[in-house]
Amino acid sequence: MSRQIPVKSTLNISDKEISDRAAMEGKMLFTSYRDQECAFLIQRNRLTAVSVLPEKASRLGAIYIGQIKNIARSIDACFVEIADGEICFLPLKKALYPYLLNRPYNGKLAEGDTLLVQVERDAQKAKQASVTAHISLSNDYFVLAMGQTQINYSTRLEKEQKDRLRKRVSYLFTERVIARNNRLIQDWDSLLSISSAKQLKADSISTDLLSLPPTGCIVRTRAANPGTDSSAPTGTVNPGTDSSAPTGTVNPGTDSSAPGTTAEDAAGTELMRQFFALTEEYARLLHTAKYRSCFSCLREAPCAVETVLQGLASEQEYQEIVTDDPGLYQNLLKYCNSHPDAKPLRLYQDDMLPLPRLYSIESKMETALERRVWLKSGGYLVIEPTEALTVIDVNSGKYESGRGTGETALTINLEAAREVALQLRLRNMSGIIIVDFINMAQDTDKKQVMDLLKQLTSTDRVKTTVVDMTPLGLVEITRKKISKPLREQFR
């Protein structure tokens, strides 16, 4: 018997309102599942994202003083020792502008050179860890990158967002004499705020004696909406001082991001606060490197819970962090104490009703790994991972509205587009994904579905690109691989 769906035209809820409501009820859970420590994002009693905490501590992002052991010109690479007997692989293309500590750089590397390197890939089985000599530091809004001087923008930004953000950043950086022709000015007086310069001087750090390697920056996606979900910057800024004015500014009292409203002024101030916090941290790192011995670790890799909290979900998507593990609670507490804007943390303790049972984690995970996903309308998706790609087939199933075929196809496809965006993230799909939507005759209907899918995937924290829709209704999507898909993590 087909399911009859009554027509309702009196209530329309936007996707943003749905997202906001889900966030109000969202919780980030840290608990054990199948003998693994995991993080689960629950929104409106639905599982929307999962991450397994690595058993072995990662070194990804850690910065060391390494020493070149030998150079292999045949493979355009060299091998760098970062700890006693631990050799890492360094491609020469990632050492075009190295920060040498034993001598001035003359355009060539030599065996025995000591330099700063950053871990890009952990060692895996027989493979050595990979490092880069182009050091980068990041916070919510910026990545400060050694090896180039340009100001670039996140590829996840839509064209309209990017144009608006470029205009704002260009105004801010030009007004404060930080950049010229879309490049950072290579001078500490321009890159540091007045308060940062004073604080460095108070700590006996002289930038006059500190060489500045070619340095550029990347403006991150979250910079498009500054102040909405930022956590504390990683650098040190003195509260109560003017951290938004650089030492070389003409008008240190001006803080607006562009001529206009108070909201724009506040957004500009927050952007500059985080930029100068990052440049101060950068100066401290380079200064410290001068006085540390070879094989020293100058910056530890983020702990597992920090990586998950910053990578799995935006802080806008949940209102509370909950764990039932005292060990994880201590790690989370350290994170929350160092990030004043972090969401409230709670230790759950109830032997009668364990946390995984309270939120039905077992059944939610079983549903997340099923081949068929039901839609509220009665339609469903069939998700088939293969060796080369993942295929998602949209079916009308039990849906019956009494309307025309075209309107039925559009209704199901719109709901399917929302579910596809969720499943991409939940199942951690990567590579090529083909979605077979129900055929639509009208170009306006196709555009509506594509626009919705692009809008929803644009918020994914993993780079996702909706390529195109073929005449047969097949939509091509690519998603960057960051870790194993969900089905492989819980085999």
CA 412 to chain centre: 31
Please report the pLDDT score of residue 248 as a whole number.
42
Contact 154, 220 (CB under 8 A): yes
CA distance 434 to 468: 10
| 148-170 b/e (C-beta count within 10 Å ≥ 16 → b) | bbebebbebbeeebbeebeebbe
**Confidence label for 444 from pLDDT (cuts 50, 70 and 90):** very high
Q: Are strands 431-436 and 390-395 parallel, antiparallel or unpaired?
A: parallel
pLDDT of 406: 66
- Conformation bin of residue 428: beta by default, left when phi > 0, alpha when psi is -120 to 50: left
Closest-CA residue to 248 (of 331, 175, 142, 338): 175
User: How high is the pLDDT of residue 55?
Assistant: 78
Express each pLDDT in 108-154 by its tens digit: 899 999 999 999 888 877 788 899 999 999 887 899 999 999 999 98
Three-state DSSP state, 386: coil
pLDDT at 135: 95
Residue type, 123: A
pLDDT at 360 over 70: yes
pLDDT digits (tens, 9 = 90+) for 365-386: 999 999 999 998 888 999 999 8
Provide the pLDDT for residue 100: 94
- Are 153 and 166 contacting, i.e. CB atoms less than 8 angstroms apart? yes
| pLDDT above 50: residue 229 | no
DSSP letter for each residue of 390-457: EEEEEE-TTEE-SS-HHHHHHHHHHHHHHHHHHHHHHTT--EEEEEEPPP-S-HHHHHHHHHHHHHHH
Sole residue written with tokens 């309102």: 17
Pick the range with the lowest mean pLDDT from 366-380, 401-415, 459-473.
Answer: 401-415
- Unique residue bearing structure tokens 């719109």: 414
Instruction: Give 17: exposed, middle or buried? Use CB within 10 Å, 0-12, 13-18, 19+.
Output: exposed
Q: Work out the average pLDDT over 437-443.
A: 89
Classify residue 46 by burial, with Cβ atoms within 10 Å: 0-12, 13-18, 19+.
Answer: middle
CB 447 within 8 A of CB 412: no
**Considering Cα of 285, then 287, then 290, then 291, what sign does the dihedral take?**
negative
3-state DSSP of 304-355: HHHHHHHHCCCHHHCCEEEECCHHHHHHHHHHHHHCCCCCCEEECCCCCCCH
- Across-strand partners of 347? 323
Give the whole-angstrom CA distance, residue 369 versus residue 233.
37
pLDDT band at 234 (very low <50, low <70, confident <90, very high): very low
Domain segments of the chain: what residues?
A: 21-56+303-362, 63-134, 136-290, 369-489
pLDDT above 70 for 218: yes
Mean pLDDT of the chain, nearest integer: 84
Question: Is 2.60.120 the CATH classification of the domain at 21-56+303-362?
Answer: no
Question: What is the pLDDT confidence band of residue 17, given thresholds at 50, 70 and 90?
Answer: low
Lookup: tokens for 303:
């702990």
Return the closest-CA partner of residue 279 out of 216, 203, 208: 216
Question: Closest by alpha carbon to 362, among 136, 47, 127?
Answer: 47
Taking residues 218-236, what's their average pLDDT? 61
CA-CA distance, 255 to 269, in Å (whole number)? Answer: 6
Q: Please name every residue paired with 124 in a beta bridge, in sequence order, or none if there are none.
A: 127
Average pLDDT over residues 423-447: 92
462, 459, 455: which is closest to 428 by C-alpha? 462
**Would you say 471 and 353 are in contact if contact means Cβ atoms under 8 Å apart?**
no
C-alpha 402/C-alpha 104 separation (Å) is 77
pLDDT score of 127: 82
Q: Quick check: 390 pLDDT over 70?
A: yes
Note the CATH architecture for domain 63-134. Beta Barrel (2.40)
Q: In what order do the strands lie in the sheet with 151-153?
A: 136-138, 142-146, 215-219, 151-153
Torsion (CA) 271, 275, 281, 287 in degrees, nearest 10: -160
Asked if 385 contacts 431 with a C-beta cutoff of 8 angstroms, the reply is: no
Nearest to 478 by CA among 414, 424, 418, 413: 424
At 236 the pLDDT is 35
Helix (H) or strand (E) holding 383: strand 380-385
DSSP 125: T
Q: Output the pLDDT for position 463.
A: 85
Task: Concatenate the DSSP letters of all residues of 20-60 into one string.
Answer: HHHHHT-EEEEEEETTEEEEEEEETTEEEEEEEPPSSPP-T
* 301-352 pLDDT tens trace: 888 888 888 888 887 889 999 999 999 999 999 988 887 778 999 999 998 9
**pTM confidence score:** 0.70
